[in-house]
Amino acid sequence: MTTHTPRVFSGIKPSGGLTLGNYLGAIKRFVDMQGQEFETIYCVVDLHAITVWQDPAVLKDATREVAAGFIASGIDPSQSILFNQSQVPAHAELGWIFNCVARVGWMNRMTQFKDKAGKNAEQVSLGLYAYPSLMAADILLYHATHVPVGEDQKQHVELTRDIASKFNHDFKAGDFFPLCEPIIEGPATRVMNLRDGTKKMSKSGESDMERINMTDDADKIAKKFKKAKTDPEPLPETLDGLKDRPEARNLVDIYASLSEVTPEAVISEYAGAGWGRFKPALADLAVEKLAPISQEMARLMKKPDEIDAILAKGSEKADAIAQPILQKTYDIVGLVRSR
Ligand code: AMP
Ligand code: TRP
């Protein structure tokens, strides 16, 4: 048995702006894992973004904005590797190998594809369908062992494990590719839409009032929380009392995650409180936590060269880990390497 070094990999697509869901479900947790026992690698996954149409000029800004979001939230390029996917060509190369390992039947079970393609499945790009095998390549190219993600990505990380095991088995490669663990922890692994607590908060929802963007100013944040859908009941005495109250539960979870306490602790502080008291407290807390980040993002976005230099350095470091693993994979597969 080889023991793989504890290594974290995760990524975010530069498609539209970053939301509070991305922050609490992903970036904040990436920051927490930095400087622990893991080597941490974080990626702006631009090749994933283009599985649906992206305006080329907008994509470049969106890529820098996600990078700025990482840095402003506390990802330190001297402690973590931070880069954009397309600058390390090995992602696409290993992605092809995995297209030949993964089975069509596995892809057909991916719920995110079904949701995104909807009734339009014949018209979406082939890339959108193959997306999970590129995601497996992102992770396995670094022999990553831990993958922090939001709840919606659980199935893709499980597929990554299936691809790793089929590769190891078919090519009699021992445990060359590790079976990575999805890390889905904390109260905010699925932040919901502010206008409909049964839907996930996403970058692409139709109304801006459904989501908090990481670039929203204090007034916008306050307004969005004030107008967030709730029910007429006050906050209950126990967490059980939030059952079947998805909007209320969501706001409590957001509060818990922002203040780094459990949802139980929030409930015990606010038991019996009405929304007129809870919502302004939540808005103040969100502004206190997010305003410094959005200010730093705005500062960085005025210096795209600074961001590009960080991504260039990160890409070199990522490439140095990825290349030997890709070359070894080619060798295992039986591809001649004569230069
Ligand atoms: P994406 O923006 O789809 O590239 O997602 C990047 C990361 O953010 C993934 O780990 C997602 O699971 C996470 N994420 C996106 N939206 C949410 C949400 N509403 N709640 C929690 N995590 C989310
Ligand atoms: N598929 C992820 C999402 O849509 C983004 C992603 C791409 C990712 N590659 C990854 C996440 C590797 C974790 C690890 O949110």
Complete domains list, the chain, with CATH:
7-183+303-333 (3.40.50.620), 208-299 (1.10.240.10)
Is the pLDDT at 101 greater than 70, yes or no? yes
What is the CA(23)–ligand 1 centre distance, in A?
A: 8
Is the pLDDT at 1 greater than 80, yes or no? no
Residue nearest to atom 10 of ligand 1 (CA): 149
CA distances from 137 to 76, 91, 105, 182 (A): 24, 6, 19, 15
Please pick, among 60, 154, 166, 203, the residue that the annotation labels catalytic.
Answer: 203
Closest ligand 1 atom to 19 CA: 16
pLDDT value at residue 206 = 84
What is the CA(131)–ligand 2 centre distance, in A?
A: 9
Task: Please report which ligand is nearest the Cα atom of 26.
Answer: 1
Tell me the pLDDT tens digit for each residue of 294-339: 999 999 999 999 999 999 999 999 999 999 999 999 999 999 999 8
Closest ligand 2 atom to 45 CA: 7
Cα 161 → chain centroid: 18
Residue nearest to atom 17 of ligand 1 (CA): 21
pLDDT value at residue 297 = 97
Q: Is 19 in the pocket of ligand 2 (CB under 6 A)?
A: no
Please check whether residue 142 is in contact with residue 9, taking contact to mean a CB–CB distance below 8 angstroms.
yes
> How sure is the predictor about 62, in pLDDT bands with cuts at 50, 70 and 90?
very high
What is the CA(6)–ligand 1 centre distance, in A?
A: 23
Residue 241's closest CA among 194, 273, 211, 210? Answer: 273
Q: Is 149 in the pocket of ligand 1 (CB under 6 A)?
A: yes
Model-level pTM?
0.97
Please check whether residue 43 is in contact with residue 275, taking contact to mean a CB–CB distance below 8 angstroms.
no
Q: What is the distance between the alpha carbons of residues 129 and 114, in angstroms, rounded to a whole number? A: 9
pLDDT value at residue 16 = 87
**Phi-psi region at 181: left, alpha or beta (left = phi > 0; alpha = psi -120 to 50):** beta
What is the percent of the chain where pLDDT is above 70?
99
Closest ligand 2 atom to 9 CA: 14
Mean pLDDT of 238-248: 96
Please check whether residue 325 is in contact with residue 143, taking contact to mean a CB–CB distance below 8 angstroms.
yes
Q: Is 214 in the pocket of ligand 1 (CB under 6 A)?
A: no
Residue nearest to atom 15 of ligand 2 (CA): 12
Residue 17's closest CA among 266, 205, 240? Answer: 205
**114 in catalytic set:** no
